């Protein structure tokens, strides 16, 4: 595996600098309804999640608590008291040997798509991940989700695995791609 190339790292820093005015912060428990609402809005499009029916705020409380600032954070973009999107880090595979690897998930409210919020969140994640002891980031993305694939690739993520027809959405079998980014040697 190769480390992130320096031009991608520079591009990430440049993108991060251009979005500094966006208020990215650690999520608070009172943000959970907005986080769940954004997630639920992604379900009908069958592009970003394998959930088939809406989830509840109560069902996400333990998930929320698992996110610890500085270790496995959950960040929101909060502008004018409006949560526009969020990003989470999840531990990969749940075993200690994988502690320097995390899965990244990014969700943006549909009314704010193409507003740079996903780019800002991912740039923030790539920049901050090494300070959390992370060396590798992963994204699990449906093969038909071209916008997310393009977003991750913009930051130097590469396809590391192709899982053919592992998900079934509305009777259609879908591929999942695992995109990876090695941050440090």
40-48: long-range contacts, CB 8 A cutoff, minimum separation 24:
41/109, 41/110, 42/107, 42/110, 46/142, 46/169, 46/170, 47/142, 47/144, 47/145, 47/147, 47/148, 48/107, 48/142, 48/145, 48/148
What is the signed CA dihedral for 3, 7, 10, 15, rounded to 10 degrees?
A: -110
For residue 7, what pLDDT is reported?
A: 41
Residue 87: φ, ψ to 5°:
-140, 140
Distance CA 106, CA 12 (A): 16
For residue 21, what pLDDT is reported?
A: 64
pTM to 2 decimal places? 0.88
Residue 76 C-alpha from the chain's centroid: 11
For residue 124, what pLDDT is reported?
A: 97
- Residues of the chain with pLDDT below 70 are 1-21
Q: How do residues 11-47 score in pLDDT, each as one tens digit? A: 444 444 444 568 999 999 999 999 999 999 999 999 9
Query: Using the 8-state DSSP alphabet, how is residue 53 labeled?
Result: S
CATH homologous superfamily, domain 6-182: Gcn5-related N-acetyltransferase (GNAT) (3.40.630.30)
For residue 184, what pLDDT is reported?
A: 84
Domain boundaries, the chain: 6-182
For residue 1, what pLDDT is reported?
A: 38
For residue 185, what pLDDT is reported?
A: 74
């Amino acid at each position: 595996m190769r480390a992130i190339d320096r031009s991608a790292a520079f591009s990430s820093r440049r993108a991060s600098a251009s979005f500094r005015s966006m208020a990215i912060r650690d999520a608070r428990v009172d943000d959970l309804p907005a986080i769940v609402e954004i997630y639920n809005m992604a379900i009908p499009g069958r592009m970003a999640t394998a959930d088939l029916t809406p989830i509840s705020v109560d069902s996400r409380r333990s998930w929320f608590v698992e996110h610890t600032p500085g270790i496995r954070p959950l960040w929101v973009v909060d502008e004018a008291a409006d949560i526009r999107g969020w990003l989470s880090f999840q531990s990969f595979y749940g075993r200690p040997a994988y502690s320097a690897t995390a899965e990244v998930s990014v969700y943006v409210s549909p009314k704010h798509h193409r507003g740079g919020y996903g780019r800002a969140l991912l740039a923030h994640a790539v920049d901050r991940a090494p300070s959390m002891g992370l060396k590798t980031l992963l994204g699990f993305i449906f093969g038909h989700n071209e916008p997310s694939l393009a977003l991750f690739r913009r930051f130097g993520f590469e396809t590391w695995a192709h899982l053919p027809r592992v998900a079934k959405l509305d009777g259609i079998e879908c591929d999942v791609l695992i995109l990876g980014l090695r941050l440090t040697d």
